[in-house]
């Protein structure tokens, strides 16, 4: 059935008046009949499932955006999502690691790190050979030193120096599910199950020792927990986790409670401000800001009726999302120090909620706040994590993980900005 037909079955479709117009006496009679008919329609008209409205919307817009990739992405969205197990470094990790490895799960973060180091060593060795072939011993030493320094400071190396974050996934094509995590003797759970692609924005943030970090839309707290796993936000640095929703902030507290020892979770400041007003709270102070905005949550919208943003009642809210996202990203940029970095992320495939929001924010920062913002290149993430995720190669800005039947993570869009 076409969308227009579906729309037509709704109660707001014009209803023909029964009978002919017979003058003023009949007016109220007809009017009442008309209202009764409308009432009946309202209760009997089949409600179109929000998931179906979502899919129709996606078919229309994403087939244009993703072209021939869309059918396979669509199949991924409609099939069971794959999870990653974020290792909880605050628990008895040795035991958990052993258990996960026995299941044939591997830590995709350290695998990528090893791969990057190997390829950089390879590049350094090739350069050294080139130097020696050029014959001059002194020249060779200089080239070697330069090459190693270049390799170590190149983006792939820097982006993966968060060795403490470990996330286990099953190999491509393996759809085994993880069991729920169990508590250790101190009552802390061994791992947190999440879409492994959700870790990429956290890795892109590249938290360093002593950084002041803000997670502007933090609840229910998967990324906050991942940020804490670095161990860098608490020793010397500081982590502020905010979310406007009081009920979701409670869930964030619960997660911290289940995974993080008290002395550490008490260092995290959890607030429930409207993130758009952050400038009034604490502007220009953070080294790193994560802006993981509310979005159309495409996978959820295609699969679940409950709390679906494609429900007719939520049309206005859905249409206003890009505006809310832009305001939140602007607040994130203004919360960062000059030189600070902001990662913007969504779990939608929509360019209107992804690249367009970033482009508009860069423009507004420049024109209205006289702040220059640079969009960082994250293309090395594609190389680093290509064994685990399917990336879209057509993003104008930032990176996008596409759902795929053999690696059914995402969607996850992330883009890194630097406030100059
Ligand atoms: C995608 S979710 C965040 C998920 C979270 N980062 C995680 O990894 O678990 C988006 C969050 O934005 C919050 N939110 C919506 N509007 C907001 C606002 N104006 N200020 C702050 N948070 C907001 C929602 O309550 C929701 O929890």
- Region 168-192: what's the mean pLDDT? 96
Q: What is the pLDDT of residue 388?
A: 96
Q: Tell whether the model's pLDDT for residue 23 goes beyond 80.
A: no
Q: For ligand 1, is residue 321 a contact (CB within 6 Å)?
A: no
Cα 146-149-155 angle, rounded to 5 deg: 130
Phi-psi region of 19 (alpha: psi -120 to 50; beta: other; left: phi over 0): left
Nearest atom (ligand 1) to Cα of 243: 22
Q: Tell whether the model's pLDDT for residue 9 goes beyond 50.
A: no
Nearest to 246 by CA among 270, 277, 265: 270
What spacing in Å lies between the alpha carbon of 244 and ligand 1's midpoint?
7
Query: Contact at 8 Å (CB) between 354 and 386?
Result: no
Residue recorded with tokens 């607030």: 271
Q: Tell whether the model's pLDDT for residue 162 goes beyond 90.
A: no
DSSP H or E segment with residue 120: helix 108-133
Query: Contact at 8 Å (CB) between 214 and 240?
Result: yes
- Region 39-63: what's the mean pLDDT? 84
**Which residues lie closer than 8 Å to 284 by C-beta, 6 or more apart?**
334, 335, 336, 337, 338
Q: For ligand 1, is residue 218 a contact (CB within 6 Å)?
A: yes
- Region 382-401: what's the mean pLDDT? 96
What spacing in Å lies between the alpha carbon of 353 and ligand 1's midpoint?
14
What spacing in Å lies between the alpha carbon of 171 and ligand 1's midpoint?
30
- Region 29-43: what's the mean pLDDT? 59
pLDDT digits (tens, 9 = 90+) for 299-310: 999 999 999 999
Q: What is the pLDDT of residue 44?
A: 58
Q: Tell whether the model's pLDDT for residue 191 goes beyond 70.
A: yes
Q: Which of 195, 221, 243 to mutate to test the pocket of ligand 1 (most atoms within 8 A of CB)?
A: 243
What spacing in Å lies between the alpha carbon of 32 and ligand 1's midpoint?
46
Q: For ligand 1, is residue 223 a contact (CB within 6 Å)?
A: yes
Query: Contact at 8 Å (CB) between 192 and 257?
Result: no
Residue 115 binned pLDDT confidence (cut-offs 50, 70, 90): confident
Q: Which of 6-15, 104-113, 265-274 has the lowest mean pLDDT?
A: 6-15
Q: Tell whether the model's pLDDT for residue 42 goes beyond 80.
A: no
- Region 51-61: what's the mean pLDDT? 97
Q: What is the pLDDT of residue 47?
A: 86
DSSP per residue over 225-282, as a string? HHHHHTSTTTTTSEEEEE-S-HHHHHHHHHHHHHHS-HHHHTTSEEE---GGGHHHHH
Q: What is the pLDDT of residue 282?
A: 72
Task: Classify 74-82+197-419 by CATH class.
Answer: alpha beta
Distance separating alpha carbons of residues 396 and 151, to the nearest angstrom:
26
Q: For ligand 1, is residue 221 a contact (CB within 6 Å)?
A: yes
Q: What is the pLDDT of residue 119?
A: 77
Nearest to 123 by CA among 163, 157, 159: 157
What spacing in Å lies between the alpha carbon of 379 and ligand 1's midpoint?
26
- Region 155-164: what's the mean pLDDT? 56
Q: What is the pLDDT of residue 10?
A: 36
* Higher pLDDT, residue 126 or 51: 51
Residue 2 binned pLDDT confidence (cut-offs 50, 70, 90): very low
| CA dist list (Å): 353 to 52, 234, 266, 282, 320 | 20, 32, 34, 26, 10
Distance separating alpha carbons of residues 108 and 409, to the nearest angstrom:
13
Q: For ligand 1, is residue 292 a contact (CB within 6 Å)?
A: yes
Q: How many helices (H) and strands (E) does the chain have?
A: 18, 13
Q: Give, rounded to a whole angstrom, the gap between the first and last alpha carbons of the chain.
A: 51
- 269-271/238-242 β-pairing: parallel
CB atoms under 10 Å from CB of 251, counted, come to 14
Whether 136 sits among the annotated catalytic residues: the reply is no
Distance separating alpha carbons of residues 293 and 276, to the nearest angstrom:
11
Tokens standing for 102?
Answer: 């026995």
Query: Contact at 8 Å (CB) between 376 and 362?
Result: no
Residue of minimum CA distance from atom 1 in ligand 1: 294
Distance separating alpha carbons of residues 212 and 231, to the nearest angstrom:
13
CB atoms under 10 Å from CB of 356, counted, come to 16
SS3 for 154-184 is CHHHHHCCCCCCCEEECCCCCCCCCCCCCEC
- Arithmetic mean of pLDDT over the chain: 86
Phi, psi of 281 (to 5 degrees): -85, -55
**Which residues lie closer than 8 Å to 224 by C-beta, 6 or more apart?**
215, 218, 239, 241, 252, 255, 256, 268
Q: What is the pLDDT of residue 319?
A: 97
Q: Tell whether the model's pLDDT for residue 58 goes beyond 90.
A: yes
Q: What is the pLDDT of residue 20?
A: 43
- Region 383-390: what's the mean pLDDT? 95
Q: Tell whether the model's pLDDT for residue 124 goes beyond 90.
A: no
Residue 183 binned pLDDT confidence (cut-offs 50, 70, 90): very high
Nearest atom (ligand 1) to Cα of 324: 19
Q: Tell whether the model's pLDDT for residue 135 goes beyond 60.
A: no
Q: Which of 37-46, 87-96, 409-418 has the lowest mean pLDDT?
A: 37-46
Q: Which of 215, 219, 278 to mutate to test the pocket of ligand 1 (most atoms within 8 A of CB)?
A: 219
Q: Which of 11-25, 183-197, 293-307, 403-417 has the lowest mean pLDDT?
A: 11-25
Residue 339 binned pLDDT confidence (cut-offs 50, 70, 90): very high
- Region 107-135: what's the mean pLDDT? 77
Tokens standing for 120?
Answer: 């950089």
Residue ranges of domains in the chain: 3-41, 74-82+197-419, 109-159
Tokens standing for 390?
Answer: 């399917």
**Which residues lie closer than 8 Å to 156 by C-beta, 6 or more apart?**
116, 119, 120, 380, 383, 384
Q: For ligand 1, is residue 274 a contact (CB within 6 Å)?
A: yes
């Amino acid at each position: 059935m076409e969308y227009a037909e579906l729309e037509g079955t709704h109660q707001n479709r014009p209803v023909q008046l029964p009978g002919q117009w017979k003058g003023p006496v009949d007016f109220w009679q007809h009017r009442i009949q008309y209202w009764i008919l409308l009432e009946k329609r309202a209760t009997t008209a089949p409600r179109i499932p929000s998931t179906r409205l979502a899919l129709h919307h996606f078919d229309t817009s994403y087939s244009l955006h993703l072209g021939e990739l869309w059918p396979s992405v669509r199949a991924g969205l409609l099939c069971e999502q794959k999870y990653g197990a974020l290792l909880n470094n605050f628990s008895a990790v040795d035991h958990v690691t052993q258990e996960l490895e026995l299941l044939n799960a591997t830590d995709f973060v350290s695998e990528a790190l090893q791969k990057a180091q190997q390829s950089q060593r390879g590049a350094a060795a090739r350069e050294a050979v080139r130097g020696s072939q050029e014959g001059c011993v002194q020249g060779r030493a200089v080239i070697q030193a330069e090459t190693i320094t270049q390799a170590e400071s190149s983006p792939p190396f820097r982006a993966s120096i968060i060795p403490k974050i470990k996330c286990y996934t099953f190999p491509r094509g393996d759809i085994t599910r993880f069991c729920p995590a169990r508590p250790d003797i101190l009552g802390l759970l061994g791992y947190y199950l999440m879409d492994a692609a959700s870790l990429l924005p956290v890795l892109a943030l590249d938290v360093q020792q002593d950084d002041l970090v803000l997670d502007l839309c933090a609840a229910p707290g998967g990324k906050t927990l991942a940020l804490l796993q670095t161990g860098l936000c608490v020793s010397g640095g500081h982590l502020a986790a905010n979310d406007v929703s009081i009920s979701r902030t409670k869930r964030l507290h619960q997660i911290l409670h289940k995974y993080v020892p008290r002395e550490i979770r008490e260092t995290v400041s959890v607030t429930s401000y409207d993130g758009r007003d952050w400038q009034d709270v604490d502007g220009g102070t953070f080294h790193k800001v994560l802006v993981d905005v509310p979005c159309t949550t495409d996978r959820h919208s295609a699969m679940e009726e409950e709390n679906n943003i494609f429900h007719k009642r939520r049309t206005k809210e859905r249409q206003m999302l890009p505006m809310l996202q832009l305001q939140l990203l602007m607040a994130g940029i203004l919360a960062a120090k000059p030189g600070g970095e902001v990662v913007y992320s969504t779990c939608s495939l929509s360019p209107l909620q992804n690249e367009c929001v970033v482009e508009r924010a860069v423009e507004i920062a420049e024109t209205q706040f006289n702040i220059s913002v640079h969009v960082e290149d994250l293309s090395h993430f594609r190389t680093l994590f290509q064994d685990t995720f399917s990336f879209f190669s057509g993003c104008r800005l930032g990176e996008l993980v596409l759902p795929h039947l053999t690696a059914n993570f995402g969607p996850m869009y992330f883009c890194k900005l630097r406030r100059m």
